[in-house]
Structure 1
C-alpha cells in the first residue's frame, strides 16, 4: 500500500502518499508527502475511511458512501460513462447504493465499530455505549430523544444526530426515519430539502428520487412540473432542447405532424403566407412559387405562362409561340407567315423575302428551297421558278434566267442544266438546248456556242461532241467541214487528221485515189518527177534492177537490153559483141573474126592459118 488515510476527531479526512490515480482525493494526481485534506462536499463529515492499493472509500456521517482514485476494475462503484468507459476520480464521488437488491434510500453502516451509532468509532468515542436508545426518527440530544426536523431523518435506533435528506429526496415532516423520494416532474438538488421542486418549464423528470430535471427533446416542450415532454402540435416546431414552448412555422414553411424539431420549407411550386400552418398552397394557374420556402406566389411575366397549378417557374413561350401579357395560362401560336425563334417572346415577326412559314407555331422562318423563290415578306408559301429560269440556293427572293450555255425545260428548277457535249445554248433564259450542226462540234458541257471543225477533221451528223480526224488517205484543208477528201492520183495521206495531201516523191507513184502511201517504181521502171500516177518503163538499151528508182541504167558494153521495162541487161552471146553502152542489141562478128565468150566488148581476128568466112561465129576455121 502506497498511501495512508485517517479520520480526525472533527470527522475530517486526511490522506498522504502516492497520488498517481487521485487516491488522495484533493483534486490532483500529485503525490503528497504530508497529510492533505480530502475534498469532501461542504458540510459533509466522515465516520469511517479505508484505503485500497490505488483507491480510497469512506462512509460519511450521513451513512452515504464516497470513493475516489483508480476505477480501472470498477472498484469505485461508479459504473461506466456514456461512452462505456470506467473513469478514475481524483475527488470523493458519491456511490449510489440503490443498486439491484439494495432498494431505494439504502445507506452504509459502521456496524459493531460504532455501537452507539454516533458516527464515532469506539476507540475514538468517549461515550461508546448509548445513554438511551432513541427509536428511528429520533436522535439523542442532551440526553433526550428529539424528532428529526423537516428535511432530515434518523434511520436507526440509538443515533445521536439527525441526517439531512440527500439530494433527490425531501421531508416536509418531523420524526421521519427516511426521506421521500422526489416524484416524477420534481427534483431536489441539495441536501436537507423540506419540499420537492417543480421541474421548470422546458424540463421534465419521469423518475422518482432525482436530483435534476431533463431538458425536453427537440420537437417538444413542457410546463412546470412535467413528468414528460409534450410533442409540438402540427404547425409548430422546436429545434432546441429544454424549451418551454414551440415555435410557429414561419411563412413559407409548414409542420404537418406532431413532435417535429424542424419546420419544412414549402416545396417549389407551393407557398404559405401565414405562420403556424400545417401545409402549403399550390401556386395558381398563371402564377409560380420559385424555389423552397416561398411565402407568396408570383405572377408569370410577359413571355411566360403557367398552364397548371403547383409550378415553381413559369414556362417560357416556346419558339414559334408568344405571350403578350402577365399572368397567362397558355401560349399563343405565331400565325402563318410569321415566326419567332426566341423563347419567352411577347410577339412574332413576319418572315423575310426568300422565306416562308407554312403553319401556325413556326419557330424559324423556312428558306425557300432550291427551285422556288418569294419576293414578299410574311408569306406562307414559295413560288416555283419559271421555265428557263432557276432559283439555285435556299432563301431566294427572286428567280434568275438561265445563263447562256444552260437551260431549264421545267419550272421549279434550282440549278439550270448545262448544255450537253455536242449541244449549245446561245441565249439566256432558254428552255432547251440546240444540237451542233454537221461540220461543227462541242466537247464541253455548258457551252453557249459550237466550234467549227478544225482542218483535218469533220463531223457528218448533228449533236457531235468530238470532231472526227480524217482517216489516212483522206484530208481536209478547210474548217467546218462535214467530210474529208480522198488523196488524188500521184498523192497520198499517211496520217489521220491531215490538212493536206502529199505528192508522191520521185521513184514512187500512186495510180489510185485515197491512198495512205505511194508505190515504189518496180524493177525495169522509174519515176523521175513528183506527183506521178504511173511509172515509166526503162527504154531499150537501159534497165533498172531495183525498185523505187528515178532513172534507168544504160546497158554496159558487152551487154544489151532488147525490150522496154527490163529489170536487167543481157550479155552479148558468143559470136556477138557490143563495144558501146546503152545498146538494145549486139553486133555479129564479121567474116575473118570470131567471139568465143559472152559479153565480149570486141571481136577477135582469126589467127594466121585460120579463117572464117561467116558472120556471128564463135571460132575460126583452119
Structure 2
C-alpha cells in the first residue's frame, strides 16, 4: 500500500498538538516499545505508572529514572515545578523547614551572613539591625540613643511601623506619614511622596490610592484626586492627566467596536475579531480559524492536526481517531484510507494497520486475552495497550471506551484522578483556566455570588469584603462610606460630616444649625439652645454672645435679647 506524502519508512508525522497531548496524558509513553523510557531529571514516575510527573514546587528530582521526588533540604528552596536541584537561601534569609518554596527574611535584631542558612543569628550585645533581611549587625549609638528609624520604648529601641517614620536619632515616638505621602516599610526615616496618578487623603498610610477613572493626579504628594474637566476623561485608574473626549461617535481602535455610535468601545468577544479602527461590529472567525481571547484584531488558523467546522469558534477540534488534518486552516478532518489508521487524536497523517490487529484505542487487552473498554474515568490513548490510564487531576472521562481525557472547563475543577465529571467551583471561589485541579477563593475586595464562576466580581463603591472567599459584598455601615471599587474596608465619615445611609459612596457635610464632633457619625447633632452653627461642615456649636440667645435647638444665628 502506498504511503501518504507525509509518511516515510512506515513512520508518521505527528503534529505539535498531538505531541503535546501525548506528553500531557502519557508522560514518557512510547507507543512502539515497552516499558516506557526513563523520565528525565526534574520528573519522576511512581512504580506501575505511565505518566512522568514534574517535581512539585518545594521538591526536586536530581537524576533520570527516578520513582519519587525529594524535598528541598533546610536552608534551601524551590519556587518552580520540574526542578532538578534546590537553591540555597541567599544571605539575609533562612529556611528551617524542608520542601519550602521561599526563604524567610531574618527578623529585626538578627542576621544571616552566609547562603544556605537554616536559622538566623541573634545580634551580639551592643549591636542591632534596623530592617528585616540583614546580613550583619551594626553598633548601637553611643549614649544609648535610638538611631533614626527607631524610637525609645520601655528602655529598648523599636522600629517605626509601616505608615510611620522617625527622622532623627534619640526619638521617643514615631511620626505618622502626612497626607499625600506613604511609608511602605518598617524602620523608615522619612515618608515618600505619592507619585503622580496616586494620592493619600489620610495620615499614617503604607500605600497610596490610585486615582479613580475620570480623575487625575498631576503632581507628586497629592492628598486627593481631581475630576477631569468637562470634555475630557481617563480610561484607567492611576492617571496623571485627562485626555480629550472624541468628537461625535467614538472611533474605536482595532480589537474594539462601537455598536451604537455611542461613547463606549467594546472589546470583541472570544470567537470574534475587529481588524480595523472605527468598526461598528465584530467579525466572527471563519471555519478553519479560531479566536481564543477577547479584543483580538485577527483570527488564527487551526493548526495541523486540528480543524474548525463552524464560525465564531474559540478553539479548534482535534482530528478524531482514524482521521487526520495535514494542513493549517482546515474546516474538516479527513478519514484515513482503507488499511490505515491513527493511534491518537490530533494526527496529521495515517499509518499502516498492523498485520495482526491489537486492541483499538479506547480498549486494552485484559488478563483473559480479550479486549476490554476503558471504564468511565479512564482512557487508552493508543492501540495495543494492556491497561487503561486514570484521567489526571484537572480532567475527566464521562464515557467508556475513551481515548483521551477532557480538560475541566473554566468554573470547574477536578482534584482527584479518574474522575467522570468535574466539580463546580463553589460560590466565593473561581476557576479561570481549563484543566484546573483546585478552585481559588475570591480575594479580599472581590466576591462571587454563584457557583461555577470563572472570575470574581469587584466590590462596587459603597460596599466591601474583608475576608477571602466572599459570596457577597457587604454594605458600608452607617457612619462609613467607600468611594472606590474593590474596597476591603470602609472609611469613617470625618468630623463635620456624616453618613446616614448604609452602602454610601460618600459622606455629607453637616448643614447649618448642626455639627459633628466625632469621626464615623451617622447623623449630625443639632446646636443646643443658646448656641448656633452658621456654616456647613461644623465640628462644634458656638455659644451665643452676651445679650443674645436662642430658644430652640438647631439655630444658625442668635437673637438680640432686647428685641
- Structure 1-normalised TM-score? 0.36
Q: Which has the higher contact order (CA 8 A, sep 6+)?
A: 2
Look at both structures and tell me which one has the larger radius of gyration over its CA atoms.
1
- Structure 2-normalised TM-score? 0.39
